[in-house]
Amino acid sequence: MLWGGRFKDSPAGNAFKFSSSLEIDINLTSEDIEGSIAHAEMLNKIGIISQEELEQITGGLDQIKSDWKEGKWNPDQSKFEDIHSAIENRLFELIGKAAGKLHTGRSRNDQIVTDIYLWLRKAIVLSDDKIKNLQLTLIDIASDNIDTIMPGYTHLQRAQPISLAYHLLAYVEMMYRDRERFYFLKGTISQSPLGAGALAGSTIPLDRQFTSSKLGFVEPTRNALDTVSNRDFILDFLNSCVIGMLHLSRLSEEIVIWSSFEWNFIKLSDKYSTGSSLMPQKKNPDLAELIRGKTGRVFGNYLAMATTMKALPLSYNRDLQEDKKLLFDSFFIFVDSLQIMSEMLKTASFNTTRFLNELNGDFSLATDLAEWLVMKGIPFRDAHFIVGRIVKKLEEKNKNFSDISLDFLKEIDPIFDEDALQCLKIETALQRKKTYGSPNPEMVKDTIGFWKEKLK
């Protein structure tokens, strides 16, 4: 126990169990030791501990870290409140009295924030790597499907034809914004919390610049009161996971739809599908559904953290112990989902000719025909009305654009000529696109080249 001198009784068993966070913050073992070594070196620099004591402390901490990684040390969750007390107790066992000097000028309040900052650095890098890996997977698939035509949707109604490459590149854009959010977060954790103490610093002349530099921070935090109660960075990280999972959930939903018998657009590998316990014929997109389902948990973690923070007076309150469980849960769900999504898509196959005949007859090229009229000098609102009449008349006869003739068009408006019929050919629909950012195959190729270069 790191406290207790003024207490007559030890905590009740159920109270101790209820308040212990060791099961969660044991994930911060390496970071806690890293911060402790920097703190010990600073205490040696200002003359609080001798060189011999420093070597004892750092040697002991290194051994604890090694033993933990090798599974030789696993602190008893029934005996320790948190990872800080577990490490300090083990250090006493290894080196004796010198261990008692390590906590000089330090509180668990600034210690835990420092630990989380150090952990987040690694989590941000890993998240970024996993997002980038999925981007590259999407780009590889897009490169092979520049001419794979599929319907584009608004309101879940067929709107205009696009390509599979173009569709997947939309997710590449989303995921780049995800990476930018994590990159922004790096800047918010660039100041060192170590040395802030419980809430008001210390009367001991701690060299916070020294520990800040040792741990790779730009500078120390400026206000200890804010430092120990700040969890904005956790909210920022959780929000980054929320939006990242939101994007994965949207893609998962489309994979579920695309893999259905009705769509028959994607075939998932057996390695990333499951069957039914009752129906032998079933092959279910369960991994996509699980990503979609776990998104709700990540959303909930953000709301739980925001709710915890909303009424906390300055500075530290024990409520904040809940932060790490939410943080780790969202992080592991997010990076696992990214990995699963990447592997699921890498091993999937697409039915590249699925929509050619179907789109050749539907009304998804109506806008192209209206724009043809615009280029002939017809105001767009008039062109919109004219093409609307054409669609209405075809529907009344249970026909579509594949049944259309020049005579039929001229009955609607004499301005139509043979060139108008070319607007209704699905095979050349994408090539006719003129605007930057459209699914024109040449533009899509350029976009793929841009991302390949940028993701190097």
Which residue type is seen at 343?
Answer: E
Tokens of 97: 């009295």
**310, 304 contact by CB (below 8 A):** no
Catalytic, out of 19, 50, 66, 276: 276
For CA atoms 435, 441, 445, 448, give the dihedral sign. Answer: positive
Which residue type is seen at 53?
Answer: E
- CA distances to 97, 137, 153, 164, 433 from 266, rounded to whole Å, are 65, 15, 17, 11, 26
Which string of DSSP letters, residue by residue, matches 268-336? --GGG-B--SS-TT--B-HHHHHHHHHHHHHHHHHHHHHHHHTTPPSS--GGGGGHHHHHHHHHHHHHH
Catalytic, out of 50, 103, 155, 405: 155
Count of C-beta atoms within a 10 Å radius of residue 389: 11
**89, 80 contact by CB (below 8 A):** yes
Enclosing H/E stretch for 159: strand 157-163
Rounded to 10°, the helix 51-69/83-95 angle is: 120
Active-site annotation holds for 247: no
Q: Among 103, 148, 133, which Cα is nearest to 3's?
A: 103
Count of C-beta atoms within a 10 Å radius of residue 322: 16
CA–CA separation, 89 and 95 (whole Å): 10
- Across-strand partners of 162? 150
**210, 45 contact by CB (below 8 A):** yes
- CA distances to 93, 171, 266, 350, 354 from 143, rounded to whole Å, are 60, 14, 16, 13, 18
Q: Among 194, 191, 186, which Cα is nearest to 221's?
A: 191
Active-site annotation holds for 276: yes
Q: Report, as residue numbers or ranges, the catalytic residues.
A: 155, 276
